[in-house]
Structure 1
Amino acid sequence: MSTAVDSASSTPAAPVNPRNRVIIASLVGTTIEFYDFYGYAVAAVLVFPFLFFPQGDPTVALLSSFAVFGAAMVARPIGAAFYGHLGDRIGRKATLIASLLTMGIATFLIGCLPTFNEIGWFATLLLVVLRLAQGFALGGEWSGAALVATENAPKGKRAWYGAWPQLGAPLGFIIANGLFLIINAALPGENGQPSEAFLSWGWRLPFLLSAVMVIVGLWVRFRLVEAEAFTKASKEKRLVKVPLGEVFRSHWKQIILGIFYMLATYGIFYTVSTWGLTYGTKPAPAGLGDGAEGGAYGFVHFELLLIATCVLFGITTLISGPLADKVGRRKFLIWVTIAIIVFGMVFQPLWSGGIVGTTLWLAIGFTLMGLTFGPQAALLPELFPTNVRYTGSGIAYNISSILGAAITPFVATALVAATAGQSWLVGLYLAGLGVLTLIALFLGTETKDVDIEH
């Protein structure tokens, strides 16, 4: 009898991921991926209109740069389908390693590209291809990182664990913008604008340095073990051969809800960050108040404002997790989305209020971004069962990126150009995205108590 007891007690337990390993692996990976992705966003405003598009009308060059920026969003759902298939068939760990490696290679190669003046339109084509590769990789990254966090979370703490991979977005944004700022300071131009040295080779450094970060991220992810939810589904023969077909056949309503859940989140972030950087630094934009150069803030000035206020994005991302666990994802996000709609309605007075108004505009925007972004890493995976969770959450998240992120800087730029520099239509556009998200939240149901291992 004692032998049986000893034998049972000596049976090794299934390997589990320690809490710190889960948090670090999900956070480090998304930080690197978003650093790479946002590095392009900064360059799309400051560098690429000059280096990869023929010079003429500066607005056309900027719109062209934003179009390439948005092309990555189109590639994201394709990446979500590809990596989702792998993640739901062979596991989360190997898929996350593959997506990070793809992003790292594409980002490094952007830093090696020749410019339009050197090889003409072929340079632009190469930029588009590598930007598509970035979007393809990010399409598989987010849902995998969210699943690593939420599928390993204790009961009642999924939104808290899910907030950690979400923290990678503000951290990646701060690191990317901060590095561009440091390089610009080392290679100063006139009137706060980028110098010839910055435009010649300085902009390449953030892309090339990403290789070091990717190596660190790969090392961390190789130490993970597979989540119990996926292992259990595999043992019980619940995995499906074609997750993409299954999710669209049996869970299409959840996909639609997930797309619209994320719409306001994408809209507010790419309005505040990418579009805000554009019109905060270009010469004499209408309505920017008392900055230098006829109303524009210099690159350094506005970047400092962005980085300082983006800290609020990180703080509120973490705060949102425990709040969403306590009151529920749906109820919490309804109130945050209402606040985003109000923010859109007061867009113009804040944006045109000089340094105080612009700082407040950025602070409120990033605060709301953190509050709406944090719970999504728990909410979207909870819409789907384990055997299609990687695919379903990734498809919803990344299709929404087309509607809420890809076209937002483009539309906002066009609206300002069409109204002789007025920004109130941009705020109205953002409020409209918020209304669509609010409708979806009212149509959806609460998910915080669903069985994540189903």
Structure 2
Amino acid sequence: MRRVAAACLVGSAIEYYDFLIYGTAAALVFPTVFFPRLGSTLGTIAAMATFATAFLSRPLGAAVFGYFGDRLGRKKTLIATLLIMAVSTVSVGLVPSTAAIGAAAPLILIVLRLMQGFAVGGEWAGSALLSAEYAPAGKRGRYGMFTLLGAGTAAVLSSLTFLGVNFSIGEKSAAFMQWGWRLPFLFSAGLIGIALYVRLNIDETPVFAEEKARDLVPKAPLGELWRLQRREILLAGGSLLGGFGFGYLGHTYLLIYANSHLGYTRGFIWSVGALTGLVSIATVAASATLSDLVGRRRLMLLGWSLLLPWAFVVMPLLNTRNPALYVVAVVGMAVGGAIGSGPTAAFIPELFATRYRYSGSALALNLAGVIGGALPPLLAGTLVATYGSWAIGVMLAVLVVASLVCTYLLPETNGTTLGVGRDGLAR
């Protein structure tokens, strides 16, 4: 279990690290490097659009890797997602600027971003299944937390990496804009090497191995999934919308807002990001572990309930231009999101039958990713320019209400046995 936990943590941390450094760079660097002629507002919207393109390929990745994960196994599929993510992320750090090669630069960036999204489409679900299908039934939340801890770990790593580059080069220097921002992408190669080593040294999950030994592996997992559990896909995806909305908006558009509208330095923003990551780690660990005792749904509903009023508090707190209240706003987002998200690495896999558990988990997650992860950062700039910052609160509140309703409509899964019956269904 220690090796499995390490494989889940390291792989998930790589996934979120790659996404977070891209989101950070898209917010603070890419408008100047890749869209210099569009001006501040349009350049920011264009940069956020490249961030959002990854969510277009995530459902495709979910379908493809879900199929292979349910047919060939969890381990092989997770190695494939990691390698594709490695190539695309490191390559982002090597893309020449628009000043150097013209319009080809943002086009290359978009292609690499689509590759990232394709790989991530199967990563989280596979990592969650790895822990869920190995862990003892009474400790599935506890071990599932390692997949979720990747987000907080990545927030700390990405913030500290950018801080290190910032302090050594200077955030306003020409060197930072020319090549300094590339270093976090190139550094990810070392982290990926560690993750690959760990994943190569674990065995296939016992649940899938049993299914394969009994010749219960499905030939068309997606077809069975949609025919038998489409309701669970839609509701599981909906249950994650609020957490996605707060998480991705906080790591993309709100960075731009804090820097360009509120005048905070990048160094301060990244320092708060590292603090937020540490808070997220502690809160996720507590929520995930507690879910084995009190249930998954109860803690998820608690987390989303905390985020609902916070949706209307965040922007007013930021607009005070008080650095202490900025910290309160951002950390409050992390606490509510971590409480609600903590049990999900156990909750989502427990909803689906073994025969198509990978496909179901991946599709549910990436449904939430498209709506809750891609749209808020893309719409935020337009909403603020058209209606004012209060509109962001309304957008976040709508996502949280959807999560509350969908979570309420799903059954409690704590205590579910992920065994394989003659019909291939979990019992």
* Category of TM-score, reference length = shorter chain: over 0.9
Displaced runs of 4 or more, over 3 A: none
For residue 223 of structure 2, give the secondary structure of its aligned residue in structure 1: helix
Equivalent in the alignment of 1:291: none
Residue 170 of structure 2 aligns to which amino acid in structure 1? Answer: P
Is the 8 Å Cα contact of residues 347 and 424 (structure 1) preserved in structure 2?
A: no
* 2:384 pairs with 1:416: yes
What's the C-alpha RMSD, in Å, of the aligned pairs?
A: 1.2
Aligned mates of 1:349, 1:123 — CA distance in 2: 37
Query: Matches of residues 225-374 of structure 1 in structure 2 within 5 Å?
Result: 225-282=203-260, 285=261, 295-353=262-320, 354-374=322-342
Is the 8 Å Cα contact of residues 49 and 61 (structure 1) preserved in structure 2?
A: yes
Query: Greater share of helix residues, 1 or 2?
Result: 2
Is the 8 Å Cα contact of residues 315 and 390 (structure 2) preserved in structure 1?
A: yes
Equivalent residue in structure 1 for 2:46, among 64, 69, 77: 64
For residue 415 of structure 2, give the secondary structure of its aligned residue in structure 1: coil
Equivalent residue in structure 2 for 1:384, among 344, 349, 352: 352
Residue 70 of structure 1 aligns to which amino acid in structure 2? Answer: A
State the shift of 1:54 in Å.
Answer: 4.0
Aligned mates of 1:345, 1:75 — CA distance in 2: 31
Equivalent in the alignment of 1:444: 410
For residue 157 of structure 1, give the secondary structure of its aligned residue in structure 2: helix
Query: Matches of residues 3-42 of structure 1 in structure 2 within 5 Å?
Result: 19-42=1-24
State the shift of 1:310 in Å.
Answer: 2.3
For residue 156 of structure 1, give the secondary structure of its aligned residue in structure 2: helix
Query: Matches of residues 217-228 of structure 1 in structure 2 within 5 Å?
Result: 217-228=195-206
Question: Between the two proteins, what is the percent identity of the paired residues?
Answer: 38
Equivalent in the alignment of 1:11: none
Residue 380 of structure 1 aligns to which amino acid in structure 2? Answer: I
Equivalent in the alignment of 1:45: 27
Equivalent residue in structure 1 for 2:128, among 129, 146, 151: 146
For residue 448 of structure 1, give the secondary structure of its aligned residue in structure 2: coil
1:184-205 CA-to-partner distances (Å, cap 9, x unmatched) read 111114xxxx321011111111
Equivalent in the alignment of 1:203: 181
State the shift of 1:273 in Å.
Answer: 2.1
Aligned mates of 2:315, 2:21 — CA distance in 1: 28
Is the 8 Å Cα contact of residues 159 and 378 (structure 1) preserved in structure 2?
A: yes
Query: Matches of residues 63-142 of structure 1 in structure 2 within 5 Å?
Result: 63-142=45-124
Aligned mates of 1:153, 1:48 — CA distance in 2: 42
Is the 8 Å Cα contact of residues 52 and 115 (structure 1) preserved in structure 2?
A: yes
Equivalent in the alignment of 2:423: none
State the shift of 1:274 in Å.
Answer: 1.5
Is the 8 Å Cα contact of residues 106 and 131 (structure 1) preserved in structure 2?
A: yes
Is the 8 Å Cα contact of residues 300 and 341 (structure 2) preserved in structure 1?
A: no
Is the 8 Å Cα contact of residues 347 and 423 (structure 1) preserved in structure 2?
A: no
Q: Which stretch has the larger CA shift, 50-59 or 93-102?
A: 50-59
Residue 120 of structure 1 aligns to which amino acid in structure 2? Answer: G
1:341-368 CA-to-partner distances (Å, cap 9, x unmatched) read 1111223332223112111101111111
Aligned mates of 2:331, 2:194 — CA distance in 1: 31
| TM-score using structure 1 length | 0.90
Residue 234 of structure 2 aligns to which amino acid in structure 1? Answer: I
State the shift of 1:272 in Å.
Answer: 2.1
* 2:427 pairs with 1:427: no
For residue 251 of structure 2, give the secondary structure of its aligned residue in structure 1: helix
Residue 190 of structure 2 aligns to which amino acid in structure 1? Answer: V
* 2:375 pairs with 1:393: no
Q: Which stretch has the larger CA shift, 234-243 or 100-109?
A: 234-243
1:183-242 CA-to-partner distances (Å, cap 9, x unmatched) read 0111114xxxx3210111111111112111111111110111011110111122221112
Query: Matches of residues 162-177 of structure 1 in structure 2 within 5 Å?
Result: 162-177=144-159
List runs of 5+ in structure 2 lacking aligned partners: 420-425
For residue 137 of structure 2, give the secondary structure of its aligned residue in structure 1: coil
Residue 438 of structure 1 aligns to which amino acid in structure 2? Answer: L
Aligned mates of 1:151, 1:250 — CA distance in 2: 21
Is the radius of gyration larger for structure 1 or structure 2? 1
Residue 275 of structure 1 aligns to which amino acid in structure 2? Answer: Y
State the shift of 1:448 in Å.
Answer: 1.1
Query: What number of residue pairs does the alignment pair up?
Result: 419
Aligned mates of 1:209, 1:355 — CA distance in 2: 30
Equivalent in the alignment of 2:422: none
Is the 8 Å Cα contact of residues 301 and 340 (structure 2) preserved in structure 1?
A: no
For residue 307 of structure 2, give the secondary structure of its aligned residue in structure 1: helix
Is the 8 Å Cα contact of residues 155 and 273 (structure 2) preserved in structure 1?
A: no
1:42-83 CA-to-partner distances (Å, cap 9, x unmatched) read 110121111112423311110011011011011111111111
Aligned mates of 2:249, 2:401 — CA distance in 1: 16
1:85-133 CA-to-partner distances (Å, cap 9, x unmatched) read 1111111111111110100011111111111112211111110000011
